[in-house]
Structure 1
């Protein structure tokens, strides 16, 4: 099935709704963020902030113990758990975000392999999580997983993964790149950049209509990963998580540019503006 379209406010209003009055934090999703390494703790902070600003009820950050002081100051609303996670720990989560600032150690690759083999809810795979697929030879596990995987590569990560699949990205335009990644991996592909694209294995392709050049700053993608994971924890379908997530991310960037200007905005500013993007969408 081939289907194309734009991701706009009219669409997002059909999937992002006002919260029921009697809701509690357990209803809003338990999100596990597997992110951060020595020197890259900020990636975990930004991802977790993106998830919390997107309404996640509970956020746990799985990280090396030496990062806990940084994380618990940077995101006091989140709890920290070890990188060594048991299967029950994973199964207790409504959604998993894995990859921002993760590094390339073998322990992380082992954990990703376990998630792909055992987990059956939504997984958002970003950054070093995507790189691990090609580096550790996890393409078969990705294709065969029972999880609903959403990949969020930037062009460089997309090129590395396609090269592993034997495809030269220089021969593809952006829509073809996103579509080929979705077909080769079986995942929903969010190809970041100007006019972020969302592509599915069965030929659906959507172009986002929000965002601006000020979002071209380190950590912006980490915030997006957190947004998408939070929406998954709130039981949106994987395609809706990807489409609504990129729109909200871009809207937050537009609100940030309006307030601060494009040149000086940072990803921490962007994460904070996610809350105002939701307020604009639902009216409160």
Structure 2
């Protein structure tokens, strides 16, 4: 399944005209990076990704750009360290696309999607570190599980689902996506187009990958490696992410300024051609 980079024209427009170096902190399938290197023929790019499979794919996609493209396996929470180690600081533009690529959901085999119920309930971005979603559900206290569902999924039935999860693991530990689907659907029935497990999957993925902690770390480091007049663009996909971006960057208003009062959204034409883009929100900041 080919991944289509979201808000591509808007990302290109956000790049300062004097750009020489840029960092794509979330390479994914390298769609944004490839387009940026094509559009700015004199630019060098450093690309990071925590997923080792994404790094391998990106290296293949970007190899035609030769020494202009540098690909590193690493989490954007450590962007400052990676940039300095690669002698790639300061830079003029940083991009962070917080979405997950289509291939990660469809082809990784890590239980990201309820469309693959036979897969292991893993959900880790980097399969080389941390606990799986199954580990968390099989070991965490009911209060902790409920808190994760409430905070990271904004799931209204968090109490009932957490209680059902603990009851389920006493009978049979969680191992597959199907185990999770059965448990959620025993409590919450489908109403409308949204799958009943959607918010639960979101919450568990955020928990397992420490997404908000790492996002906050990244946002606090990024301004330190951007040149004055350089820019940072962040694409988020739900209100919790966007709120974090807005709050953390507002706390650094002495060194960065928000370039648009409201987040940039995909056009109707983009949403029609790529429905997955419909929830994308981009905020761009400029170093003072």
Q: Which has the higher contact order (CA 8 A, sep 6+)?
A: 1
What TM-score range do you get, normalising by the shorter chain?
under 0.3
TM-score after normalising by structure 1: 0.26
TM-score after normalising by structure 2: 0.26
